[in-house]
Structure 1
Amino acid sequence: MHPQISAPQAGACPLCGMDLVERGAMGGGGDAVRLGPDAAALAGVVTAPAVCRAVEFELPLFGRVELDASTVRSITVTVPGRIERLFVDSVGMEVNVDDHLYELYSPGLLSAQAELLSTAERFTRAAAGEAGFILENSERAYTSSRTKLRLWGLSEEQVDEIERSGEASDRVEFRSQFAGTVVEHGAYVGDYVHSAGELMRLADLSHLWVVLEAYERDLPFLRYGQAIEFEVDALPGQVFTGTISLIEPTVDRVSRTAAVRVHVLDPERVLKPGMYVRSRALVALDREGHARGPDLTGKWISPMHPEIVADGPGQCSVCGMDLVPAQELGLVGGGEGTPLVVPTSAVLTTGRRALVYVHEQDGDASLYRPREVRLGPQAGDSYVILEGLVEGEQVAVQGAFRLDSEMQIAGGHGLLSLPSESIDREPSRVDRGMDGPMDPARVVDPGHGSPLRHAELWTDYLRASAALAADDGEGARAAFEALATDARAAQAPDDLEAAQLGVIAGASARAAGASAIADQRAVFDEVSEAALSLIELAGNRGAATLRVAFCPMAFDNRGARWIQGPDGPLANPYFGASMLRCGVIEREVTRP
């Protein structure tokens, strides 16, 4: 039970009182488990080679539908006046080019029309008299009067009609120069409007953006042109597709996310701006475990509208700019080669450390040696191995837990009994989900007056955890709403704590908006990691002792941590009733 305890002779374990067993008596050596053919078959140990092959995985992202800003057009007033009639008076109306929009009373327009009639009459007389200098000046004045009315928004036909009728009107009808759907409206009959005042906005709703929020740890797996699939609650079962057209170059200091823009064509107009989106980025990996972008070699792209891609030189269909080679924008694919992978069942992990059991043949017997590996991302039912294995090595893909138990019983170094040189090893970048070990100089003294002293945040976090463990989606939603409010209200003393509070607030809000408990559990993992980072920064400022728990089987054996209260049995929020007690309590964090 406690393989770290050893003695030169038989005796009892000082921790639990059990009899000590002879090292190797259960089939293990100091650094390997030795099994004969029959024993291996009884233990159910199956091996498979580590192989290099193409792998893909899905990266979940959340976001919302937004207007394509390049299609938005403002309808503005070009001359001061009073609105007498509104022909387009509400959001949602469809507008075509040359549709009438509004009728305006304007003394300035009345004067401009009178000026046009006067200059037209002088120009006509001068042309009949063939007076050279007078004709030239009259023509210039006449042209200027027509141009003024055109710049004020009247059409060529309207200006011609004023000349034909010979009368100036104090009420003029204005027509649309654009087509689209009214998405904003702020004018009413009787309003007095000033020059450049905005009356309404139009947009083309068949071209939309889906703006996703990607955490900084996910950014290495996203590339321009990458395929995205997404769903909305309003249309269950219907899957939409788009491609990434822009990854914003900055990360929000509070939420720690960068906006990822996906260009979507929606000719049937079933998507509505503001809809909540659950999406999956399809990620293909190269030999280093990095995302492989689409092959854009030889393609030409618009610098201003990167969703415009062509096979050769030309002009952007949106803005008319010359297209440039994809190489000039640094958008040509990703790395090369295929990654080294093993099945997920071959990897044992504590969240901080991962190992596999490597098979070696020793005569008729088999040796299984534990070897620590550095994991890349999980791709479906496989893990990418960045360090620790070479292609062709055989690893145990079934029975690894039995081998690890045998190793620990025999006093060897298994998953939970680290060699002395590994006890203080910092978790890798992949383990921690951040860009390296935390700098001790950045840890904030928990006694400095952190606003985390209030217990509401931890109380609502524990409510959310308990609700998920009880498979209570509605209870979890209410707890997440409260938790998001708590995190927004907290006043952090520095940017480090503010960043984690921002993650908790944003992720909790998304969890509150999720309709399925599986989505809530996926986001709860993000909330928990941010909460644990908060404890590392400021200590436990809750009302009681907190316990850090870990489940190695969550999320297809990737593993996940969470925080529990001081009392009661372990309650797994990631599985609920199906595996309520799966996991272990790693440590306790007491209130200082």
Structure 2
Amino acid sequence: MSDKKTNHADARDKSSVDETADRKHASAAPPPPSPSPSRSPRVMTVVAFAVVVVVSMWIGGSWGGLLADLGRRALDGKGEEAMPSVGSGGHAHGGGPPAAPTGPGQDGGTITIDPVMSQNIGVRIAEVASGPLIKTIRTVGTVDYDETRVRDVNLKVPGWIERIYVDYLGAAVEAGQPLFDFYSPDLFAAQEEYLLAWRNRDKIGADFVPDAAEGAQDLVAAAHTRLKYFDITDEQIEELQRQDQPQKTMTMRSPHSGIVMAKHANEGMRVELGMQAYRIADLSKVWVMVALYEYELPFTSVGQRATLSLSYVPGQALEGEVIYIYPYMETKTRQAMVRLEFDNPGLLLKPGMYANVELKATLAERATLAPRSAVIDTGERQIAFASLGEGRFEPRNVRIGVETEDGMVHVLSGLQPGELVVVSGQFLLDSEAKVREGTARMSKGRLAADEPPAMDQAPMWPEPAGSYFGRALDAYFGIGDALARDTPEKVWARARVLADAVAGLFAAEIPGGPEFWKQHPEAVTIGVEALGLASESDLSGARLRYANLSVALADFVMATGVPPDFGTTVLKLRCPMVRDGQGGSIWLQPDGVVRNPYFGRQMQECFEERTVLPVTGSTHSPGQHESSRDMP
């Protein structure tokens, strides 16, 4: 243990001396010191690493190697200590000279700018955060009647309206309230029939006709039912019994409560069988119809909560929910209608009104979030500049997903929570990086056009690095197979194997030394996600971490290639139904039967396209693409 500490101290001292010499050689007078940011990535990493070490003690000793390797790599960032090599006994140790700068003012992949210049060009930084990923959709809706609460009052017999009680549109009516008095010969005859059967119900009967009394009761019931079918209430029938004579007109009453939205009844008019006299709508609940664009539909689901507000009623909001998403789109507008339901206290919402509607969808409980202004989108790739402190900045290739309402974006790879990124002035930094890259290449007698393809620069995998890489791929494939079979306990076990394999890969010697790991920050993401996956107790959470792990591993394999002796073709497949609206999600698997890890046993063969990943040292263009339509 003491030998390891001595080696690390010697490496740090040597690296410090070399760096001092380089700085003196570059400039006789050192630049004024840069103001340190309030929270540097190094400080955040130290805190994070301390927490991880404590967790490792609780989880188990077999994880200590990976945690230590990840911590040392994150804490140093350059020199041989950041890329441990394998000594006798297979233990990682430091040593070796630090990497030479690749350009003026540049330390490896970083850019060093005088703090006065940074201030003059307006460089500002912000912290990469971790929090819930919430997608907010704001739109305008139209209030409409709840069609399930609209009732018609129709006439079952022809006749004449003698008197009308509800004589205007918009009138509020209650169930049982009189609507109009109605005369109909058929209705008058039905009253007489009922009274005749009622009067004779106890008179019919004789010893020689034992069933006559029962038949009389059946006649009363039949006549009573006929009046009911004419919409005569039980109270009106009882009143008819007390008066014992038919009435010329019967009062038709409202069977429902609500607002009159259509009226066709007038005093003295003749009505025909089946005519609509009134249409009554219950406005205690209303629908709100909103039109959403197709790219917003993946973030909308039935049962999702919605908030409604009126611009002319400030401070008041109503809560509702999505109850239906129409299964077709308007081809001209590329929009689909979505139906929301809201309670309508005091009839505040009136059909035909416009209202502001807000829908929120929680896509992840915890995700990496960065300011949108920190990302430069060139059309082919997305770049962010990480601030390393002391006037140093590092360009990072990042992948982003959904943008939130507060100007943050979901970072899929390239940045970690706690790091600091440039949010203003990064275009000038980008220009500076390109100028220095061109200068460095010209000093070496090479032009950018002469650079070989990325795969030609990929290192061959010496032992034991190749074995560790192959073991990591096997463990990852086992995780995907366990998720496809809905067996989380196997996921955790395989994740531990993957974490150990990544630790061994970090410890093994790789051609290119520390510069290799600086060019592949996604390797750290693989290790971190493996640790998180091993401690993930929820299957859905495990699939989310697996998606992040797959993105990082795919980037790493595309850049470095599959070890030639791995023995099988590795495929990258994409499922568009995962993370809708973000381009779906990918996973890797060996060539063979497709096993989708994101839906378990429900849709194991679901995928849209697959790509053959290159082998290390191959000269063909990476990623032979193949499309398929094995979608359900």
- With structure 1 as the length reference, what TM-score do the two structures score? 0.51
Bigger radius of gyration among the two:
2
3-state secondary structure, aligned to 1:218: helix
Give 1:67's aligned residue: 145
Residue 65 of structure 1: how far off its partner (Å): 0.7
User: Which of 385, 392, 403 is the aligned partner of 1:357?
Assistant: 385
CA distance in 1, matches of 2:179, 2:396: 76
| CA deviation map 1:25-74 (0-9, x unaligned) | 99679976432444434444344443321243531112111122232222
Residue 253 of structure 1: how far off its partner (Å): 3.7
Give 1:300's aligned residue: none
1:356–1:140 CA distance, 2 compared to 1 (3 A): same
User: Which of 346, 351, 354 is the aligned partner of 1:268?
Assistant: 346
CA distance in 2, matches of 1:208, 1:135: 53
1:130–1:194 CA distance, 2 compared to 1 (3 A): farther
Give 2:246's aligned residue: 168
Residue 246 of structure 1: how far off its partner (Å): 1.4
In structure 2, the gaps of 5 or more residues are 1-101, 440-447, 452-632
Are residue 378 (structure 1) and residue 404 (structure 2) matched? yes
| CA deviation map 1:399-441 (0-9, x unaligned) | 213313434555769xxxxx999xxxxxxxxxxxxxxxxxxxx
| CA deviation map 1:223-254 (0-9, x unaligned) | 34433222335x34243222223132513242
Are residue 90 (structure 1) and residue 168 (structure 2) matched? yes
3-state secondary structure, aligned to 1:167: coil
Counterparts of 1:161-560 in structure 2 under 5 Å?
161-233=239-311, 235-254=312-331, 255-286=333-364, 337-349=365-377, 354-360=382-388, 366-407=392-433
Are residue 126 (structure 1) and residue 152 (structure 2) matched? no
3-state secondary structure, aligned to 2:250: strand
Percent of pairs with identical residues: 27
1:350–1:277 CA distance, 2 compared to 1 (3 A): farther
CA distance in 1, matches of 2:220, 2:438: 100
In structure 1, the gaps of 5 or more residues are 1-23, 287-336, 414-418, 422-592
1:275–1:249 CA distance, 2 compared to 1 (3 A): closer
CA distance in 2, matches of 1:276, 1:33: 53
Contact 1:227 1:241 in 2 (8 A): no
Residue 145 of structure 1: how far off its partner (Å): 0.6
CA distance in 1, matches of 2:322, 2:268: 43
User: Which of 112, 117, 137 is the aligned partner of 2:190?
Assistant: 112
Give 1:588's aligned residue: none
CA distance in 2, matches of 1:56, 1:49: 19
Residue 159 of structure 1: how far off its partner (Å): 1.6
Letter paired with 2:314: G
CA distance in 1, matches of 2:119, 2:236: 92
1:34–1:195 CA distance, 2 compared to 1 (3 A): same
3-state secondary structure, aligned to 1:169: coil
Contact 1:31 1:370 in 2 (8 A): no
Residue 130 of structure 1: how far off its partner (Å): 11
CA distance in 2, matches of 1:224, 1:355: 37
The total of aligned residue pairs comes to 340
Letter paired with 2:212: I
CA distance in 1, matches of 2:151, 2:233: 18
CA distance in 1, matches of 2:316, 2:438: 50
CA distance in 1, matches of 2:352, 2:317: 16
1:192–1:33 CA distance, 2 compared to 1 (3 A): farther
Alignment root-mean-square deviation, CA: 3.3
CA distance in 1, matches of 2:329, 2:124: 47
| CA deviation map 1:321-356 (0-9, x unaligned) | xxxxxxxxxxxxxxxx41211112212336775421
CA distance in 2, matches of 1:29, 1:183: 76
Are residue 136 (structure 1) and residue 214 (structure 2) matched? yes
3-state secondary structure, aligned to 1:373: strand
Give 1:526's aligned residue: none
